[in-house]
């Protein structure tokens, strides 16, 4: 096609396109370089390590999240395994790609070009059969001049341009001017990315084409052409190139060398590279530590930055995906029943202490069961429906028996009062008790005093056991801290700390298990004596002790790690001795 015909073709496309009017010029003549001289487009931008890292971390995160289809129930929702779209989105959109590959590809298109397109393949019954990616730089929407409806044009490998109806194209646009075609983040940030590419090229050329020898050789006399060529060739062969750097230079016949290049540190080369890393991370709203910039990351703030990544970086992209799926892939009638939604609970999980504290609140207030909590921790339900019971705070009784239990307690109190008042001789005894100067315990008061006495006795035993745990914990941690030279590098110590507490769990259980069991047996025997029951451990009591001990260990370790990490971070921030802070 000659240039005239090509211009006519692109002019026609320009008139009818909904995208940026300058696109046809860019694609026809090529994009002009940035002010740094670097050519910046959606492909060359990936040569910047920061752009590549940002695109990769976002697209891989989106691709790795489960994407099920749900059906609405009268109360809540459930996964719609019988919907054919479930398998396509969750497992395999077409015979040549997995769901991860497909979503990673379209997400990278969205992050680079600002748009993601896929062809919707349907069977004879108009059901979706597969999704096939379309190249974003060769696909664009137009408004049909006759029907005034949106259609999509795409150029295939043979060079032919196909027109597809809007119902056959799955399109996710990014932020845009007209709501139909998204802006390319690369074009919007062309200068920032160009500077990043330019600094990388400068560094490569600096080490590839010479070291600190760039400059002027001063010679008082005059060299012949032959002598000049020989001298230049000799210098380049001996000193030019990274492998020949830092050599001692010899000059002949009184020649003098004057360095004129600016060293990279004088040109703020490293600072520029660091700034561009943060600049590109800001463009994609990615926390710097997720693309390898740990300069301002600490042990305590990385978790919060990771949660911010989910809430403020991933969530807008996930909503774009979900709404595009519900709009393009689910017909209007089915939308009343089915919808797509990413499962992001796993990314929002905090540290073990925060999670267990949250579970405890839900468990004690009756809106989380043991099985609900186990499901959130990716564990199987308890056998025989034991974990499906909902409890409330207080005596931790089944919620369905809360009113019944209160009524039973009131009936027991009424019965005791009735016996004292009306049965033979009891009324007089009751009156004598009331007139007596010495207080006399009623049965329920006496039982409470017995239980309180057992608890007070065991306080010393518990305190002694915990003191033994803390003494060993302190000795081991301080011994390792003195070996780690904390003021120079705390990371090895933090890694050791994580491994230490995994092993320390066993020691805590070894010390505390006999104490827990003995206390439980004493309290059970006292309770059995109150109601005339049989003393001895039961399966329910053993299970309760096990769960309580697990929570005790997790809480102790979580608090210890948080306190130690905060002490290290605060000491580092204030320039104090970290060993002394511990």
DSSP string, 286-306: --GGGGT--TT--TTTHHHHH
Q: Are 200 and 40 in contact (CB under 8 A)?
A: no
275-296: burial string, b at 16+ Cβ within 10 Å, e else: ebbebbbebbebbbbbbebeee
Beta strand segments in 126-167, E = 128-134, 139-143, 150-155, 161-165
Instruction: Determine contact, residues 106/94, Cβ cutoff 8 Å.
Output: no
Tell me the C-alpha distance between 408 and 412, whole Å. 6
Token pair 């019988």 in the structure block, residue: 82
CB 145 within 8 A of CB 13: no
Q: Name, in order, each residue with C-beta under 8 angstroms of 310's C-beta and a sequence gap of 6 or more.
A: 344, 347, 348
Read off the DSSP letter of residue 75.
S
Instruction: Kindly give the parts of the chain with pLDDT less than 50.
Output: 1-30, 211-213, 262, 266-267, 415-416, 419-430, 433-434, 438-442, 488-490
Quick one: CA dihedral 523, 524, 529, 535, positive or negative? negative
- pLDDT of 198 reads 66
Contacts of 472 (CB under 8 A, 6+ apart): 507
CB 556 within 8 A of CB 466: no
∠ CA 295-297-298, nearest 5°, is 130
Cα 545 to its chain centre, rounded Å, is: 34
Q: Please state, in angstroms and rounded to a whole number, the distance separating the CA atoms of residues 409 and 412.
A: 5
Q: Which residues, at least 6 apart from 393, have a Cβ–Cβ distance to it below 8 Å?
A: 364, 365, 366
Q: For residue 204, what are its two tokens?
A: 């490569």
Q: In whole angstroms, how large is the CA radius of gyration of the chain?
A: 37
Q: How far apart are CA 50 and CA 397, in angstroms?
A: 55
What DSSP assignment string belongs to 324-355? HHHHHTS-HHHHTTEEE----GGGG---HHHH
Q: Exposed, middle or buried: residue 76 (CB in 10 Å: 0-12, 13-18, 19+)? A: exposed
Longest dimension (CA), the chain: 139
- Whether the Cβ atoms of residue 305 and residue 325 lie closer than 8 Å to each other: no
In the prediction, which pLDDT does 445 show?
A: 57
Determine phi and psi for 265, rounding to 5 degrees: -65, -35
Using an 8 Å Cβ cutoff, are 48 and 284 in contact? no
Residues 6+ apart with CB under 8 A from 391: 363, 364, 366, 369, 397, 398, 399
Neighbours of 140 (CB within 10 A): 20
Bridge-partner residues for 169, per DSSP?
Answer: 119
Two tokens, residue 351: 């540290």
CA 309/CA 422 separation, integer angstroms:
72
Over residues 124-176, the pLDDT tens digits come to: 888 899 999 999 989 999 988 888 899 999 988 777 889 999 999 999 999 98
Looking at residue 474, what is its pLDDT? 86
Cβ-Cβ contacts under 8 Å for 88 (sequence gap 6 or more): 128, 130, 131
């Amino acid at each position: 096609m000659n240039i005239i015909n090509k211009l006519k073709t692109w002019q026609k496309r320009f008139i009818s396109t909904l995208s940026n009017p300058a696109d046809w010029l860019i694609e026809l003549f090529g994009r002009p370089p940035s002010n740094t001289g670097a050519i910046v487009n959606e492909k060359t931008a990936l040569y910047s390590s920061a752009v590549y890292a940002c695109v990769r971390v976002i697209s891989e995160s989106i691709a790795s999240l489960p994407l099920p289809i749900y059906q609405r129930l009268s109360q809540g929702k459930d996964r719609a395994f019988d919907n054919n779209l479930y398998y396509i989105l969750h497992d395999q959109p077409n015979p040549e790609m997995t769901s991860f590959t497909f979503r990673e590809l379209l997400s990278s298109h969205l992050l680079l070009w600002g748009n993601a397109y896929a062809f919707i393949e349907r069977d004879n019954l108009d059901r979706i059969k597969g999704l096939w990616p379309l190249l974003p730089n060769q696909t664009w929407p137009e408004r049909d001049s006759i029907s005034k409806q949106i259609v999509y044009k795409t150029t295939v490998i043979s060079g032919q341009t196909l027109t597809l109806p809007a119902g056959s194209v799955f399109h996710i646009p990014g932020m845009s001017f007209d709501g139909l075609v998204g802006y390319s983040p690369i074009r919007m940030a062309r200068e920032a990315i160009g500077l990043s590419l330019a600094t990388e090229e400068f560094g490569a050329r600096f080490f590839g084409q010479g070291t600190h020898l760039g400059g002027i050789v001063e010679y008082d006399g005059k060299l012949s052409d032959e002598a000049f060529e020989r001298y230049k060739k000799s210098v380049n062969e001996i000193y030019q190139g990274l492998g020949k750097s830092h050599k001692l230079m010899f000059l002949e016949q009184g020649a003098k060398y004057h360095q004129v290049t600016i060293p990279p540190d004088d040109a703020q080369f490293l600072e520029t590279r660091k700034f561009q890393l943060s600049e590109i991370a800001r463009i994609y709203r990615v926390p710097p530590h997720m693309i390898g910039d740990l300069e301002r990351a600490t042990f305590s703030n990385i978790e919060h930055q990771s949660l911010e990544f989910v809430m403020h970086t991933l969530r807008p992209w996930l909503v774009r995906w979900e709404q595009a799926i519900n709009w393009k892939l689910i017909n209007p009638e089915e939308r009343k029943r089915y919808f797509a939604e990413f499962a992001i609970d796993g990314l929002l999980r905090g540290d073990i202490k925060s999670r267990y504290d949250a579970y405890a609140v839900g468990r004690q207030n009756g809106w989380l069961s043991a099985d609900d909590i186990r499901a959130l921790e990716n564990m199987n339900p308890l056998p025989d429906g034991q974990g499906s019971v909902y409890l409330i705070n207080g005596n931790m009784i089944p919620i369905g028996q809360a009113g019944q239990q209160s009524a039973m307690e009131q009936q027991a109190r009424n019965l005791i009062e009735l016996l004292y008042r009306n049965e033979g001789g009891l009324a007089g005894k009751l009156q004598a008790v009331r007139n007596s100067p010495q207080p006399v315990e009623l049965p329920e008061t006496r039982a409470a005093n017995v239980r309180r006495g057992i608890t007070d006795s065991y306080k010393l035993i518990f305190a002694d056991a915990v003191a033994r745990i803390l003494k060993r914990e302190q000795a081991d941690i301080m011994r390792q801290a003195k070996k780690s030279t904390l003021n120079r590098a705390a990371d090895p110590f933090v890694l050791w700390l994580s491994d230490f507490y995994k092993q320390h769990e066993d020691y805590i259980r070894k010390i505390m298990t006999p104490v827990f069991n003995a206390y439980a047996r004493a309290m059970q025997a006292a309770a059995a004596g109150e109601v005339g029951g049989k003393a001895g451990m039961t399966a329910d009591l053993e299970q309760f002790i096990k769960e309580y001990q697990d929570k005790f260990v997790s809480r102790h370790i979580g608090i210890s790690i948080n306190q130690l990490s905060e002490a290290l971070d605060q000491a580092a921030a204030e320039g104090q001795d970290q060993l002394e802070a511990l």
